[in-house]
Structure 1
Amino acid sequence: MKKRLIISAILISLLISGISYAAEKRFLSKKQVIDLALRQNQKLDKLRQDIKIAQAKLGGAKSAFYPNIGLNSSYTRFKEKQRLTMSKNKNSFAVGLNLQQPIFLGGQLWSTYQQMQNNLKVAKLKLQEEKKKIKYQVLEQYYNILKVKKMIEVTKQQLKRIKQYLEVAKVNLEVGIATKTDVLQAKVNYNQAQQRLLQVKNRLQLAKLALQNSLGISSQVKLKFNKELNWQPVDIVDNPYQYALKNRIQFDILKLQAKNLKLNLQRVRNKDKYPNLNLMINYQARDKEFTVKDGSLQLTLNLQYNLFDGGKDEAKIKEMTKSIDKFRISQQQIEDQIRLQVKQTILNLKEARQRIKLNKLNLQKAKENLEHTKLKFKEGMITSLEMLGAETTLKQVKTDYYQAIYDYNLAQAKLNMVLGKEEINND
């Protein structure tokens, strides 16, 4: 019975450890990487709070259209009888109800309400804009991991071939068609290849840690990526800058900010142009008992008009006019920057595409050169150092090829961002 219990406990512990080990591995696609980044980002959480704040302020601006109603009540106990009124009662109750309703404020309330609406729209647009930036950042890290994985694969292949060259050098030394120097050089080449493999593996770990930090995933979790580093040619939209003007969120934010500046200016101008008109209603009742009967009702229309303020509003108008002019200059600068971004990104995309094609051709030539050099090395016609030269050339061409694919994918992601275009997931 005890043996059964021990065996059961061992099996359960193995099962639990297997489950926990499996839980430590996480397979992620490009879409999952983006979704995680958007779900667990503190910047986005702050911007969502900004939206809630803007919604609260909009509610406050809306409430200004409604009347303010107040109720007041008091009780007074006199120590002696009131001699002036000859009242025999020492108690005095008072009840009051007052209402204040803005009738016309020269558009002040309405312009404030519009500004709060615009501020809410800006807060929502900033959230969308930050999402696009985060998408690009994690895609850069994601593609970097795929690139480094490819470099590990390339380095392993090179290490395997260099080990073969070392064996060939040893055989050639025995038959007398190679020198001891060739063997020693081959050993050095093999050791250096091992070091490069360790370095590129370390780069992969660092790249994964950077992505885990962006995604908010524990460093104990082992990330796995089934997708290989590849590329798909994309067509560039017609009139890309016009497309960016229409779809780029930053332009919408600028338009709303410009509207708010104009609303501010209009509010100050209307302050001197139109009067303020408010309606006030006041009802008061006072008696020896608590009652609301037989009170007095008072209605007041209050009109205020600014005749002279020493030029304060005029100076404010000039200041705000200059601020609008300054904003227009900044707006034009931002538009020029975005135009430049679009041009640069399209050029980078085209350049990377051309480099992919050229390196693909170079890759074929480098492979042919390596095969030809191998035959010479086996026959003892060249040294280990010359053999390494052909091997290094192939590795460099492969590195350039995968770097070009990485650059193309990154340029494509950036082009989507600068155009305001949604990222298309092919996973």
Structure 2
Amino acid sequence: MNIKYNLVVLAAFCCTAIGSAQDIVTQEQAVKLALENNYGIKIAKQAVEVAENNTSVLNSGYLPTLTGAAGATYNLDNTEAEFSNGAPPTSLKGAESNRYNASVNLNYTIFDGLGRQYNYKSLKEQYQLSELQARETIENTVLQLFSVYYSVAQLTENLDALQETLEVSKDRLVRAQYQFDYGQNTKLGVLNAEVDINNDSINIISSYQELKNAKRDLNVVLGNALNPEFAVSTAIDFKLQFQKDDLFEKAKTHNVALLQTEKNIAISELDIKSNKSGFLPTIGLSGTYGWNKNNNNGASFVSVSTNTGLSGGLNLSWNLFDGGSTIIKVRNAKVNLETQKLQKENILIGIQRDFENAWEDFENKLKIFNIQQQNIITSQNNFERTQENFKIGQVNSIEFRQAQLNLLNAELSRNQAKYQAKLAELQLLQLSGELLNVDF
């Protein structure tokens, strides 16, 4: 009796905890929190920021380089000098001299075979590719979010159904005890009712633990943005409003994996042009503004000299033959382009297969959900009739328990079918590239 009592008390505690006032986190709020706090999404956004920085003109190669240089030299020499004008020779020991210089140097590439132009365009394409990669991360995170969110919702509804079952079992135990006390039934009816209460209590305890685990999983997806004591909405609204053919056309144009492949094709085409720039000459402009000062020793004709000046030049370089490395780079870039095109064709075939599978999966699960809805009505009617007959003694406890379990199983199956159908719809929307365009 102690074990039975403890189980019932613990089950009642679980139900009280679930039924207490809790903040309801709607689907819209969950998506908003995930976009703001999910660490995977934050990391993806950081990658987009890096790619955006790379598209700056400061990383384009179009701007000149400006460098400064300065130096100083000190000499201590022993010098013997003979002069060509017939002056007597000079011998110096420990003669000091020093030189100072400073300059500003400008270098600018006027033409590099159009290589930097194609590289700059490639950086912009890579930025757009990073945005698509971030979008893919967001879509996967949203799908993961709802997978856990609906798990919490399903377990919540399951607990409600289990609580109703436990309440019916408690009423049955009271009735069985009265019948036994007044000699209308045997002790077996009481014992069977107690066993069923224990089983119902165990189911509640287990389901409550699963619910707490699922809430922790959901909070991780949301970046621990929620207080542990929260609840979710169990309302479901199927939002798919597209015809099959229209949705498939969207999949062929908006699917994020396909769009990434198209960006890779564009990048590969630019890589070919960039590598071909190695066949062309490079023209550069250079300029220097310098200052030099020399303090010479006594053996020099000029004791101090100072020079300042500006110089500029135009230079051309042409790598007429680099051992064939540029040729190989161009060939490999062309092969990579063909590979990207083959991957696009492969993705298109996969999208068609995945779309057909996802569409049929959604239709079937939606049909199963509707059937389960009807099954609830049938099971409820059957239970109510059985309950009335049980009260007047026309149905035994075993038959009553079976009707009770049939109703419970129908409710649990309906809950499962409900959220499986919704997840199938979201997977179909993700495949078609419409997942982030619907109102949750």
- Scaled by the length of structure 1, the TM-score of the pair is 0.82
Identify if the C-alpha distance between structure 1 residues 276 and 337 changes in structure 2 by more than 3 Å, giving closer, same or farther: same
Paired with 1:61 and 1:146, the residues of 2 have a C-alpha distance of 51
Distance in 2, matches of 1:249 and 1:218, equals: 28
State the SS of the aligned residue for 2:55.
Answer: helix
In structure 2, relative to structure 1, the CA distance for the partners of 1:63 and 1:79 (3 Å cut) is farther
Instruction: Say yes or no: does 1:106 pair with 2:113.
Output: yes
Question: Is 1:277 aligned to residue 274 of structure 2?
Answer: no
SS of 2:311's equivalent in the other structure is strand
Equivalent residue number for residue 316 of structure 2:
302
Q: Paired residue for 1:246, among 253, 273, 284?
A: 253
Asked if the contact 2:39/2:223 (under 8 Å) is kept, the reply is: no
Comparing 322-331 with 388-397, greater Cα deviation is found at 322-331
Indicate the residue corresponding to 2:3 in structure 1.
Answer: none
What's the counterpart of residue 12 of structure 1? none
Alignment length (residue pairs):
398
Distance change (3 Å), C-alpha of 1:256 and 1:301: same
Whole-Å separation in 1 of the counterparts to 2:183 and 2:237: 49
Q: Which residue of 1 aligns with 2:330?
A: 317
Q: Deviations over 1:24-72 (max 9, x none)?
A: 9644222221111221222222223223332343337645112223333
AA in 2 matched with 1:302: L
Does structure 1 retain, via aligned residues, the 8 Å contact 2:362–2:424? yes
2:400 aligns to what? Answer: 387
1:185-232 residue CA offsets vs partner (Å, 9 max, x unmatched):
22211221111121222221111111122223278631133x333344
Paired residue secondary structure (2:234): coil
Which of 145, 153, 156 in structure 1 is aligned with 2:152? 145
Tell me the distance in 2 between the aligned counterparts of 1:220 and 1:67. Answer: 55
Q: Percent identity?
A: 18
Q: Alignment partner of 1:239: what SS?
A: helix
Cα pair 1:178 1:380 within 8 Å, conserved: no
- Cα offsets for 1:139-189 (capped at 9, x unmatched): 222222121111111111111112222333344445666443333222211
| Alignment CA distance shift 1:310-1:75 (3 Å) | closer
1:49-64 pair list within 5 angstroms: 49-59=46-56, 62-64=59-61
Q: Partner letter of residue 277 of structure 1? A: I
- Between stretches 139-148 and 248-257, larger displacement belongs to 248-257
User: Paired residue for 1:409?
Assistant: 422
Q: Secondary structure at the match of 2:113?
A: coil
The question of whether the paired residues in 2 share the 8 Å contact of 1:94 and 1:285 is answered with yes
Contact 2:104–2:289 (CA under 8 A) maintained in structure 1: yes
Deviates more, 1:368-377 or 1:77-86: 77-86
Residues 12-411 of structure 1 mapped to structure 2, 5 A cutoff: 26-59=23-56, 62-79=59-76, 90-173=97-180, 178-217=185-224, 221-225=228-232, 227-232=233-238, 234-237=240-243, 238-272=245-279, 274-282=280-288, 284=290, 286-288=292-294, 293=308, 295=309, 297-306=311-320, 308-411=321-424
The CA deviation at 1:285 is 5.1
Distance apart, 1:392 and its partner CA: 1.0
Task: Tell me the alpha carbon deviations over residues 251-274 of structure 1, each in whole angstroms, 9 at most, x when there is no partner.
Answer: 3322222211222222223322x2
Gaps of 5+ in 2: 1-20, 85-94, 295-303
Q: Which has the higher strand share?
A: 2
Note the residue ranges of structure 1 that are not aligned, 5 or more in a row: 1-23
Q: Give 1:11's aligned residue.
A: none
Distance in 2 of aligned mates of 1:368 and 1:233: 31
The AA in structure 2 aligned to 1:223 is F
Q: Secondary structure at the match of 1:217?
A: coil
The farther-off stretch of 352-361 and 242-251 is 242-251
Structure 2: how far apart are the matches of 1:291 and 1:97?
Answer: 17
Higher Cα Rg: structure 1 or 2? 2
- Aligned residue in 2 for 1:8: none
2 CA distance for matches of 1:269 and 1:173? 97
The answer (yes or no) to whether the contact 2:74–2:96 under 8 Å persists in 1 is no
